[in-house]
A = this chain, B = another copy of it.
Amino acid sequence: MSQSAPEYALAAHPANMGDARSSTRPVRVTPTLIIGGHDIVVAAGPCSVEGYDMLLASARHVQSAGGTLLRGGAFKPRTSPYAFQGLGEEGLLLLAAVREQTGMPIVTEVMDTRQVGRVAQIADVMQVGARNMQNFPLLAELGRSGKPVLLKRGASARISELLLAAEYIMANGNERVILCERGIRTFETITRNTLDISAIPVLKAETHLPVIVDPSHAGGRADLVLPLALAAIAAGADGLIVEVHPDPSVARSDADQQLTFAQFSDLMHSISLIATASNRSLRPQMPQLPPSVAPSIAAAASAESSVAASSHDTRRRAVAAA
């Protein structure tokens, strides 16, 4: 325990530095996927869902390289109101469609209390972005939703505040919280943020929650994703969330920091070496699930799967109609 430990319920958990890993309580995402266990989990995919083809291609590549969770933004928090704001509902449907094709569970961001119900119907993991880490009504609503929550640390949030944000979700009934370090704001300008690598062991020691790292936003530069990812795994992170795009140069958001497919493959290979050296492993690939497993989005899913068989282009019509 730190000398400045805040007074939150999490602190009462019998986790400690000496035996941190064993005390982490994994979060189950699907029957075959847990985060916070022995295996390292990598979520990857494009910053924004831009269309069906690019999303499916990304998912297939991520999966083939050993990633087990597909990330993609449908609702995008953008600093400027004039920047691309995401495809919204259409983006959600595209994510669901690609899950049907690949069996990969989905993590996507939710920004508005009014969207929580709808996003919870589609997403396997609900992401809270850094800007919303202290959006308390949103946290409370996610607490009531019951779906696993990936909670990103705010860019200027102290660790104690991140834990209290997690507590908002848990105090509202949802214990399936995954913490995410994604860089903090400092005076340094050569990187987008400064990855607080020490947050990993501190969070592992202070709580029983899984801790993953986002090396893409932390550095804001594609060339830094690999070294930051390796550092994160070496420091004990339970996983990563990484931005990958078929062609980063034309990405509609975060073009500077998304990896190409080849770079992502290299990353996964290097990570596996560090994982092995740490007596851990990358999570083995999931078996492909049979189609139509999500009854709550049954209509969209069946419309999608029938269309998907014929054409990618007509698929988009079905999505728009859903």
**Interface of A toward B, CB cutoff 8 Å:** 2, 4, 8, 17, 77-82, 111-115, 131-132, 134-138, 140, 154-156, 158-161, 164, 167-168, 171-172, 184-191, 194-198, 200-202, 205, 218-219, 221, 223-224, 227-228, 230-236, 273-274, 276-278
Contacts and interface: CB of A to CB of B under 8 A. Distances in A.
A220 to B, nearest CB: 9
A198 B224 contact: yes
20 contacts: A77-B136, A79-B161, A81-B140, A111-B136, A111-B137, A113-B114, A115-B137, A131-B134, A159-B188, A186-B194, A188-B196, A191-B198, A195-B197, A198-B224, A201-B227, A230-B234, A230-B278, A234-B234, A273-B278, A274-B277
A188 B111 contact: no
B201 A194 contact: no
Contacts of A131: 134-136
A7 B249 CA distance: 22
A186 B189 contact: no
A227 B82 CA distance: 33
A167 B158 CA distance: 28
Given A131-B134, A156-B185, 8 more contacts: A77-B134, A132-B135, A186-B186, A194-B198, A231-B234, A273-B278, A274-B274, A277-B277
A171 B223 CA distance: 30
